[in-house]
Amino acid sequence: MLKGKKVIVFGERDDVPAPTIRACVEAAGAEVIAQATTCFV
Amino acid sequence: MKQLADEHGAASLVVVLGLNEPDRLRVLATTFRDGDPSYAGALGGIALGLPSYHVLELRDEVPAEVWSREMGMKELEIEDALAERIRATLSAVRGD
């Protein structure tokens, strides 16, 4: 599903941050075009 | 978000989220697909049609060694019941 897709990553500081998600989706063959880590407090 | 969708084409875009709160995930995923339901934000009335997934839903697509290194500890922090609620919430928003 991810292979060849372009991904927008929204991580969460205290749950799963964006760099972690990015590493996973890039390893799955997707291209990350934007990412941000938010903090929902 | 709209600029990215216009630039890259919504058909090839996917949103991947890392928030572990089903209620807030529902609002986010609904906003990216149908527009801001409160009409308070920039996507009020703008339906981008983007599907949203939680990173937990993509485990099978990530090489095992990468998943273990990046998500191993994070996955242990999420109770099975919460993980199932997260999957169910986003699946419902996607309509699949």
Blockwise average pLDDT, block size 10, chain A, 41 residues? 93 95 97 89 60
Q: What is the SS3 assignment for B91? A: helix
> Chain A interface, mutation test: which of B8, B13, B15, B16, most A Cβ atoms within 10 Å?
B16
A35 touching B, CB under 8 A?
Answer: no
What DSSP assignment string belongs to B2-58?
HHHHHHH-GGGEEEEE----HHHHHHHHHHHHH-BTTS-STTBT------EEEGGGG
Measured in residues, chain B has a length of: 96
For chain B, list residues whose CB is within 8 angstroms of any CB belonging to chain A.
Answer: 1, 4, 8, 12-21, 24, 28, 50, 55, 58, 61-63, 66-67, 69-71, 74
User: Is 0.85 exceeded by the ipTM?
Assistant: yes
pLDDT digit string, tens, across residues B31-85: 999 888 777 777 777 788 999 999 999 999 999 999 999 999 999 999 999 999 9
Tell me, yes or no, if the pTM score tops 0.80: yes
Q: What pLDDT, on the 0 to 100 scale, is given for residue A21?
A: 97
Q: Can you tell me which residue has the tokens 């049609």?
A: B49
